[in-house]
Chains A and B, each alone.
Chain A
Amino acid sequence: QVQLVQSGAEVKNPGASLKVSCKASGYTFTGYYIQWVRQAPGQGLEWMGRLDPKSGDARLAQNFQGRVAMTRDTSINTAYMELTSLGSDDTAVYFCARDYSYYGYAFDIWGQGTMVSVSS
């Protein structure tokens, strides 16, 4: 079935970097944008950016420019989100999602989320 499976939980020290993977299956990986969204504990949803798996082009939210890279490996249908210079306010669950043009670009398939804790 159509699904996105993310890498497991991470614990990081302040100042470290993080790389989360998002493996797609059940559909044509290069046919749909991958979106990244994070959710701090008890908070709402924050859009981080999107990746076009076909071209590799990424567009980032202003808050994350210079600190986030979104890449992909089409040979294994996997997207990656790398976040550098981690601080305690980066503690959150990170989600990848697919957007679907037929649904007005709504995010129709979501990964299970990757919990990231940043603490010394």
Chain B
Amino acid sequence: DIRMTQSPSSLSASVGDRVTITCRASETINTFLNWYQQKPGKAPNLLIYTASNLRSGVPSRFSGSGSGTDFTLTISNLQPEDIATYYCQQTYKTPRTFGQGTKLEI
């Protein structure tokens, strides 16, 4: 199975900050890397697919980059509504695997 490792596990930032979360795959996954946002009591919500493609309706302050094994999610100009846990996921191979999550606090 492909292991996905996110860092940091938690992060405290201020409104207006630029925040970066990293995700590393245990083997190459090309760009089959997705980012989800999950708020308490809710289902995950897809933000970015195939490493760098912003899903329609997602604010442009979210961006993603990377390929191979190393990926980043960047939130520029952090807003209060961005408080959530963020997960990366690979869809290159089955089983689909998720990172352990990064809890973002403001």
The B-contacting residues of A in range 99-118, CB under 8 angstroms, are 99, 103-108, 110-113
- B35: nearest residue on chain A (CB-CB)? A106
Q: Tell me if B43 and A95 are in contact (CB < 8 A).
A: yes
* Count class of interface residues, chain A: 20 to 34
Q: Find out whether the CB atom of B98 lies under 8 angstroms from the CB atom of A45.
A: yes
Secondary structure dominating the interface of B? loop
How far is B99's CA from A111's CA once the two chains are assembled, in angstroms?
A: 20
Please list 14 pairs of residues, one from A and one from B, whose beta carbons are closer than 8 Å in the complex, sorted by A's number.
Answer: A44-B100, A45-B98, A46-B98, A47-B95, A47-B97, A97-B43, A103-B50, A104-B91, A105-B91, A106-B89, A108-B55, A110-B44, A110-B45, A111-B43
Rounded to whole angstroms, the CA-CA distance of A108 and B49 in the bound complex is 9
Central interface residue in B44, B46, B55, B95, by most chain A CB within 10 Å: B95
The answer to the question of B22 belonging to the interface, with a C-beta cut-off of 8 Å to chain A, is no
